Structures are given as structure tokens and as C-alpha cells.
């Protein structure tokens, strides 16, 4: 009885109430839809990740997760259990996995630079995300990428190049990081306390790099190679129905694996470290028939296939090589997955607007 939760905010509130139980019995949680008989249903659920799913016959008393949980008022929702193959330490992934005409263009074999192009600091390379304009100061135009791609605290200047820095090969100076963020508290990010844990942060991992005055900005394009112009930013509203986001088809273009396709399978992924800190990452994307990202694709925009033009919704920051693999369907091997930052919230935090056309 009662009212079934139907929005991300409602699922988040229910999860917060039962957080201690989920932490005791699982490796982490996320918000999405329940899977039954190997098919994704339309029933909103809190997804609990476990090391191994077992038949109820072999689960001890006190270790069985309930099939539903109650929330505030008369709210309730389903609980789904997904197997998570944990790597432990980060697994090594080959740096160069795809060679195609598109990928060669993104790595410097093209007269233009834009979303999807290779960018590099003095020791790390990644992918250019959105072309953006600052909402403050002189309203500079620049680009967005990951903080872990752009910022190295061992160097005094956080300079970015395309395609390579001068110490590694030919390249052009793009600009220097002006503002960046790594983690944000849950109340600032979501506008609510997402857990009962006092130490809760969301992985934001973004950096804004305004184009340098010495850089020829006429070579910048806001279109994505292999995709074209993008549509308006897809703003994730926690009060909208879950189906507005979860289950949607997505694409990305990155300097390592080029154009790939996948599906948004969950939002608001939660996990804890051994120091008691609760971490959130926003988007969980699974590739269609293969990996959605590879090492070096960090910073790529995640685009929803929504309408005539794909709409930016997130930015990749990590994936399978960081933690493990998900077994989403019985009888199938575990799948690779990708973590993404909620792009709308990151743009607001860094005071930026997307430029979607040239």
C-alpha cells in the first residue's frame, strides 16, 4: 500500500533512510529500474550492488535484502540486486585501443579542434568536453574537461595543449586552467542531503580552460566530429520521472575509442571507502555490445539521443578500469560501465554556459 516512488528525489530520500542497511549488506547503490527475468522493467528501484548474488536458500538470516522498502510518508519502492565484480586496485587498460579515420582526426589529424579532440597537460592526456563561455568576468570562451586531466599539482602552471605537450611531441598551447573542482558536498550539488552520512561528497571532476589570446580561435568548432551539432543541454531535474533519464540511449565521442553508443542505466551511484567517506557519482552508462569509453576518453561529453540533435547531459570521468564490472543480466558475463558527471550541475558550479553552434 502507499505511493510508489517515481522520481529521482523520492528514491534518493528512501535510500537515505535505509542507508545503514544498504551499506551493511551491499558494496554500493544506485537509482534506476528493476530487472526481472533478464529484462529491465518500468518499476523504479534502488539498485544494490553485491559481490555475488545467491539463491535465497544460501543467504543467512539478517543478510537478505528486502524486495521493497518504505520511505517518508506513504512512499515505497522496489529493491533490485546487481552483481558487481570488484577489481580492487585499478586495472591496467591499453592506452591505444581504436584506430579509425575519426579517431586519427581527434588526435590531431584535422584542421579544427572541438568536443572529442585530444587535449593534454604535461603528463596526462584526455578529451575536450564542451566548448563553453564563462558567465563571469570577461565572458571568455574556452573548453571543459576533467580536473584530473587538466590539473597536476606537481607543476606550477596548469597548461593544456593539442594534441601533445611540447615535451612529448608536436602541439599547440590552448590555454591555462582558470577554475576547477574535484568534489562537492551532496547538499550543494543536489540541493538536499542525499544520505545520513556526515561525510558525503559528489565526484564533480571538472576544469575550465579559457582559450589563450595566442591561440587561433577560428580553428575551434562546437560541432562534434562524427556527430555534428548538438542540441540544448539536458538538465536533470530530480523531481522529473525517472524514465526521463534512466533507460535513454546515449553516445559519446572521445580521443581513444571514437564514437560509441550505450544506455544510461542508473543515476546517483553511491559507494563508501574504508575511511567512512560516502562518495556519489551521477551517471552510470553501459555500452551497447562493448565498452562505452576507454582510457583517454575522460572529459568526453555524454549525449542523450533525444530528438533531432543529441543533447549534452554528462561528462565522462572514469569507468570499469577504476573499480570493477557489473553483471546486469543472469546468464551473461559482467559488463563494462562508465561513470559520468551531471553536466548541468557542473556548469552551474563553474559558472559556465555551453556553446552549441559555431
Model confidence pLDDT, tens digit, residues 308-327: 999 999 999 986 544 556 65
**Burial track 8-43 (b if 16+ CB lie within 10 A, e otherwise):** bbbbbbbbbebbeebbebbbbbbbbbbbeeeebeeb
What digits encode the pLDDT tens for the residues 257-291?
999 999 999 999 998 877 778 999 999 999 998 88
Q: Could you give the domains of the chain?
A: 101-110+190-203+223-351 (2.40.10.10)
Residues with Cβ within 8 Å of residue 152, at least 6 apart in sequence: 121, 122, 123, 124, 158
Rounded Cα distance between 141 and 250, Å, is 26
pLDDT band of residue 184 (cuts 50, 70, 90) is: very high
How confident is the model at residue 158, as a pLDDT?
Answer: 93
Whether residue 159 has pLDDT greater than 80:
yes
What digits encode the pLDDT tens for the residues 94-124?
444 567 899 999 999 999 999 999 999 988 9
- Tell me the average pLDDT across 345-352: 98
Taking the model in full, what pTM does it have?
0.92
What digits encode the pLDDT tens for the residues 118-148?
999 988 999 999 999 999 999 999 999 999 9
Rounded Cα distance between 319 and 200, Å, is 20
How confident is the model at residue 94, as a pLDDT?
Answer: 45
How confident is the model at residue 332, as a pLDDT?
Answer: 59
H helix and E strand count, the chain: 6, 21
Residues with Cβ within 8 Å of residue 2, at least 6 apart in sequence: 70, 73, 74, 75, 76
More confident residue, 156 or 7: 7
How confident is the model at residue 357, as a pLDDT?
Answer: 81
Rounded Cα distance between 110 and 102, Å, is 9
Amino acid at each position: 500500500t502507499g505511493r510508489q516512488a517515481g522520481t529521482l528525489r523520492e528514491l534518493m530520500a528512501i535510500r537515505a533512510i535505509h542507508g545503514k542497511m544498504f551499506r551493511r549488506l551491499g558494496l554500493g547503490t544506485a537509482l534506476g529500474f528493476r530487472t526481472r527475468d533478464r529484462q529491465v522493467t518500468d518499476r523504479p528501484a534502488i539498485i544494490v550492488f553485491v559481490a555475488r548474488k545467491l539463491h535465497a536458500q544460501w543467504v543467512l538470516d539478517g543478510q537478505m535484502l528486502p524486495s521493497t522498502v518504505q520511505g517518508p510518508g506513504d512512499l515505497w519502492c522496489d529493491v533490485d540486486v546487481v552483481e558487481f565484480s570488484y577489481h580492487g586496485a585499478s586495472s591496467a587498460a591499453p592506452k591505444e585501443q581504436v584506430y579509425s579515420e575519426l579517431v586519427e582526426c581527434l588526435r590531431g589529424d584535422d584542421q579544427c579542434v572541438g568536443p572529442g579532440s585530444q587535449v593534454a597537460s604535461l603528463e596526462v592526456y584526455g578529451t575536450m568536453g564542451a566548448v563553453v563561455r564563462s558567465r563571469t568576468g570577461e565572458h571568455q570562451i574556452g573548453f571543459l574537461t576533467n580536473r584530473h586531466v587538466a590539473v597536476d599539482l606537481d607543476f606550477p602552471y596548469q597548461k593544456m595543449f593539442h594534441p601533445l605537450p611540447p615535451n612529448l611531441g608536436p602541439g599547440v598551447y590552448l590555454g591555462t586552467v582558470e577554475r576547477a573542482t574535484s568534489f562537492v558536498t551532496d547538499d550543494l550539488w543536489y540541493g538536499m542531503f542525499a544520505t545520513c552520512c556526515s561525510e558525503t561528497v559528489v565526484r564533480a571532476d571538472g576544469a575550465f580552460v579559457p582559450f589563450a589570446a595566442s591561440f587561433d580561435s577560428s580553428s575551434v568548432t562546437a560541432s562534434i566530429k562524427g556527430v555534428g551539432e548538438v542540441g540544448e543541454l539536458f538538465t536533470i531535474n530530480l523531481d522529473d520521472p525517472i524514465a526521463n533519464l534512466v533507460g535513454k540511449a546515449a553516445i559519446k565521442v572521445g580521443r581513444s575509442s571514437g564514437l560509441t553508443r550505450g544506455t544510461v542505466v542508473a543515476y546517483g551511484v553511491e559507494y563508501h571507502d574504508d575511511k567512512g567517506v560516502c562518495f556519489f557519482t551521477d551517471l552510470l552508462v553501459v555500452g551497447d555490445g562493448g565498452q562505452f569509453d576507454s582510457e583517454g576518453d575522460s572529459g568526453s561529453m555524454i549525449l542523450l539521443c533525444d530528438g533531432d540533435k543529441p543533447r549534452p547531459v554528462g561528462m565522462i570521468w572514469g569507468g570499469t578500469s577504476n573499480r570493477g564490472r557489473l553483471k546486469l543480466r543472469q546468464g551473461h558475463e559482467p559488463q563494462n560501465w562508465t561513470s559520468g558527471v551531471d553536466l548541468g550541475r557542473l556548469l552551474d558550479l563553474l559558472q559556465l554556459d555551453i556553446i552549441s553552434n559555431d
